[in-house]
Amino acid sequence: MDIDARSLLKKLNIQPVKSLGQNFLTDRQILEEIAETAELSENDTVLEIGPGLGSLTSVLAESAGCVVAVEIDKRLVPVLHDIFIGYSNVHIINQDILKMEVQKELEPYLNAADGTRRNLKVVANLPYYITTPVIMKLLESGLKAECMVFMVQKEVAERMAAGPGGKDYGALSVAVQYYSRPSVVMDVHPHSFVPQPEVDSAVVKLDLYKTPPVELRDRDLFFKIVKASFGQRRKTIVNALNNAGYLGLNKEQIRTMLDKIGVEENRRGETLTIQQFAQLANMVYDIRNSRG
């Protein structure tokens, strides 16, 4: 089913709400490529965030066993119900994804009619102002998803997939890569949306790890060290960690730890790999616990 978002908005006299980041994706080819990227089948339940007028929802519903679309805008919920009234595999939930108990709400939709458990996948054209909070909530929640496919601002997609040493590599890169293997699938021009956003967009796919790529003694400590390391990008890793204060370590202790993992003291945090951050965090943990 093709949905003409521009005509539908005019017919319903609905104005996109800028504060909700409403830019409706209308390019059918891109919609289909997003669905193909998620590699959907009847064995999948898809969580879609921000269905808007249902353009992507309809494409997802053609391949997935079940689509659970979470929409925050109350104006659009009855519209979506009307559009998908004949779709037994589409379910609309009017909630704020950032406040929603995602696993609990999805549970009723994860089993097929014959009782078999479906795979969970997440697909979304995310409002750009809440991109990072939404992605991090889903990753940190322990949601048992196979993959996540997001339309995001192009520079955010590049940051998620960036490797050490580049200007795009930062705390978001490390966080996303702890939970998943990200890949930028394609760039999307503003003319593919109604209304057109002021920035270029990109589709990024996160293939979630069943087991993280590094072992951590304390995950919270790991992310604190990562955040501190990138908090002052122009400073060396020694000074950045020393200035964080809460680690309770002096510069000499930090230099010693860095030397053990083969990192020169004049290096910046943006040059460390996720493995090196993990080694550093585990050593800090051991020092703290050895104190008693």
How confident is residue 292, by pLDDT bands cut at 50, 70 and 90? Answer: low
* 177: pLDDT strictly greater than 60: yes
What pLDDT is stored for residue 151 in this prediction?
96
Rounded (5°) CA angle 2-11-197: 70
The whole-angstrom separation of Cα 148 and Cα 161 is: 14
What pLDDT is stored for residue 204 in this prediction?
98
Cβ atoms within 10 A of the Cβ of 181, count?
A: 14
Residue type, 258: L
Going by their DSSP bridges, the two strands 90-93 and 66-70 should be labelled as parallel
Helices (H), the chain: 5-12, 28-37, 55-63, 77-83, 102-106, 131-140, 154-161, 171-179, 219-231, 237-244, 251-260, 274-290
Nearest-10 Cα torsion for 220, 139, 105, 67: 180
* 245: pLDDT strictly greater than 80: no
The whole-angstrom separation of Cα 232 and Cα 239 is: 9
Average the pLDDT over each of 1-10, 24-33, 75-84 and give the range with the smallest value.
Answer: 1-10
Give me the mean pLDDT over the 217-237 stretch.
91
Whole-number average pLDDT of the chain: 91
* Residue-wise pLDDT tens digits, 255-276: 999 999 999 989 999 999 999 9
Q: Is the pLDDT higher at 23 or at 68?
A: 68
Give me the mean pLDDT over the 182-196 stretch.
93
Q: How far does Cα 50 stand from its chain's mean position?
A: 14
What pLDDT is stored for residue 99 in this prediction?
96
Average the pLDDT over each of 23-27, 213-217, 278-282 and give the range with the smallest value.
Answer: 23-27
Residue 117's φ and ψ, nearest 5 degrees, are: -85, 130
Residue whose token pair is 């955040």: 227
Q: Is the pLDDT higher at 280 or at 113?
A: 280
* 10: pLDDT strictly greater than 90: no
For residue 117, the number of C-alpha atoms closer than 13 Å in the C-beta half-sphere is: 7
* 76: pLDDT strictly greater than 90: yes
Expressed in angstroms, the distance from the first to the final Cα of the chain is 65
* 8: pLDDT strictly greater than 80: no
Q: Is the pLDDT higher at 138 or at 11?
A: 138
